[in-house]
Amino acid sequence: MVTFLPSRAGRLADVPSFDRGIGGAESNVACALAAAGHRTRWVSRVGDDGFGDHLVEAIARYGVDTGCVGRDPHRPTGIYFRTADDRDTDAHEVLYYRAGSAASAMAPHSVDREALDAGRILHLSGITAALSADCLALLRELTAPRPGRPLVSFDVNYRPGLWSAAAGEDPRVLLDLARGADLVFVGEDEAADAWGITGGPDAIRAALPEPATLVVKQGSHGATLHTHGEPAVFQAALKVDVVAPVGAGDAFAAGFLSATLRGLTADRRLRHGHLMAAAALTVPGDLATPPAGEHTDRLAALDADAWGTLRLGPGWTDDVTVTGAPVNTEAKEDART
């Protein structure tokens, strides 16, 4: 979708102008991974209109392969407007205009399955499942076992407003989709709101034993990683001077997937997720330029005490010096605060 970001804080009724951006969970992840140096492809559908042109061109500029994005001559590109406030506050407003959009008409027959299966990881989002019956059918097929399937990553991304409008569907269908994936991202709050599962990461793991890898996001507290045959691993979140609390979930997924592709250890995968999320939290829009790879690796290698005292603010991805932790650019080993 095309995203319209407010030019100032306040109610949508009071905001006089908006800045245009790009939005969409899967494309956000693809852009962040491409900016971090990975080869990515975005498979979707947009309208044969100016907003569709903008999305394809803007996402391609991040280095994402957009050659498998379909253009629908009969349906428009979706758009949405939002305030700058945190989604968890009463002040947050978001207005979606994507009923009947090109993306909502995606179906099993309308996407390039060969392109979807060509990568090492296929990343999907629960948002897509809520858009239409055809989109849900597509997600069911992509999370079903099949020969030659890549590692399937699924971010639950529960949005109550979407599911309240999804006639005849219950958000517990997201639990079924998650069970078919290899790697699942889910927030502790999402599991409670969508499925009524409380009791923390262990309770969520008990309800989702099938995925080989389960990441339970615990907000500003941190994240817990459950992997088959391994003890659970927890990593605390970073202290961040937040500019806009949006896009962090997609950025976390991108950081974790990047570290997974690189074969990093469990604790480093979680830390790379937190660092990518911190990059998104310290910019106004959904997408941020990730820090240089060596910079991220040094921060991810900090000892527990240094990690716990690290604080990141706007501009930290542009400078190797971050609040509380001047990073030695010559160091070949762990960075020290």
Catalytic residues: 250
* Residue 307 identity (one-letter amino acid): W
Q: How many CB atoms lie within 10 A of CB 74?
A: 9
Alpha-carbon span 137 to 98, nearest angstrom: 19
Q: Which residues contact 162 (CB under 8 A, 6 or more apart)?
A: 96, 127, 130, 131
Return the closest-CA partner of residue 105 out of 47, 39, 167: 47
Q: Using H for helix, E for strand and C for coil, what is the string for the chain?
A: CEEEEECCCCCCCCCCCEEEEECCHHHHHHHHHHHCCCCCECCCEEECCHHHHHHHHHHHHCCCECCCCEEECCCCCCEEEECCCCCCCCCCCEEEECCCCCHHHCCCCCCCHHHHCCCCEEEEEHHHHCCCHHHHHHHHHHHCCCCCCCEEEEECCCCHHHHHCCCCCCCCHHHHHHHCCCEEEEEHHHHHHHHCCCCCHHHHHHHCCCCCEEEEECHHHEEEEEECCCCCEEEECCEECCCCCCCHHHHHHHHHHHHHHCCCCHHHHHHHHHHHHHHHHCCCCCCCCCCCHHHHHHHHCCCHHHHHHCEECCCHHHCCEECCEECCCCCCCCCCC
